[in-house]
Amino acid sequence: MRIATYQLNGQRYVGTVSADGTQVTPLSFTKEQASKGALAVIDSLVESNKLPPSNGQAVAISEVQLEAPLPVPRRNLWCVGRNYHAHAQELQASVFKDNDANPESWPIVFTKVPECVVGPYDDVKVPASNISEQIDYEAELAVVIGKGGKNISRGDAMQYVFGYTVVNDVTARDVQMRHQQWDMGKSFDTFCPMGPWLVTADELDGTKTRVRCWVNGELRQDGPTENLIFDIPTLIETVSRGITLYPGDIIATGTPAGVGLGMKPPRFLKAGDVVRIEIDGLGVIENKFS
């Protein structure tokens, strides 16, 4: 099942997307429920174990404005740094070379604030040069949690996955370095494009898919999720250690090699650039930086 959040005639709806991705059928939610986007679907399944009925005729995707499937996340997004072997290696040649003695002992985990989330085709705002001059892209598979839990074992972890979506973990590298932690440089307004929809775990195996990213048509990143240093069950186990995960929580699983910082010389984004990210079985997001 694919679940989309979208605007039509100035109103937000949540609906199911056809198998060919060309149509969306609204589900029966109140305006207040629909304001939460696909979180309304997750909450409904948690409470009643069933999907609300359809409410109206299918509409062409081309006639609606797709929003982030979770336009207002319940809380900060959990994110994982340096989680592909080749990406960890490319950053060893950067300013991050001394950040940790053994990057493969434990996952690097940080967060992004919910307010940085924007839609799959929305513009990303490039900050003024006196704030940051080093804007970078990071194509990532994001896991969406479907039921709450704490101290979840690796063996049980996939039972907690509702589905998956695409995110771009946009980063201000100089801000990230300046503050000696990652949250601020990751959390600027518009720094988390997401979409185009959620695909449920029964239709997509996130452990066996492929993440690709193009900048202005040039392929920069291309990595299978089998190359994760810490796989999805391990990430869920790690994040839930002593911390309760809630339905709708988002875990961004890390980015493959090919980020701008890792190039020689580094190639950062500027106004006018277009970043396209595609994950097999999920779909495409494409955002202009302005």
Q: Which of 12, 44, 66 is the last residue of a domain?
A: 66
Q: Which of 11, 40, 66 is the last residue of a domain?
A: 66
Supply the pLDDT for residue 101.
44
Residues 116 and 62 in one domain: no
DSSP code of residue 128: P
Residues 21 and 90 in one domain: no
Percent of the chain surpassing pLDDT 70: 94
Supply the pLDDT for residue 192.
98
User: Is 90 exceeded by the pLDDT of residue 145?
Assistant: yes
Q: Which of 14, 38, 66 is the last residue of a domain?
A: 66
pLDDT, one tens digit per residue, over 239-261 is 999 999 999 999 999 999 999 99
The answer as to whether 150 is a domain residue is yes
pLDDT, one tens digit per residue, over 55-72 is 989 999 999 999 999 999
User: Is 50 exceeded by the pLDDT of residue 42?
Assistant: yes
Residues 260 and 215 in one domain: yes
**CB-based contact 165:249 (threshold 8 Å):** no
Give the mean model confidence (pLDDT) for residues 270-290. Answer: 98
Supply the pLDDT for residue 180.
78
- Secondary-structure breakdown of the chain: helix, strand, coil percentages, each rounded to the nearest 5: 20, 35, 45
Residues 55 and 84 in one domain: no
Residues 89 and 135 in one domain: yes
Domain that holds residue 100: 77-288
**CB-based contact 109:80 (threshold 8 Å):** yes
The answer as to whether 269 is a domain residue is yes
The answer as to whether 71 is a domain residue is no
Residues 133 and 261 in one domain: yes
State the total domains in the chain.
2
Centre a 10 Å sphere on the Cβ of residue 101 and count the other Cβ atoms it contains. 6
User: Is 80 exceeded by the pLDDT of residue 97?
Assistant: no
Distance (Å, rounded) from C-alpha 142 to C-alpha 75? 15
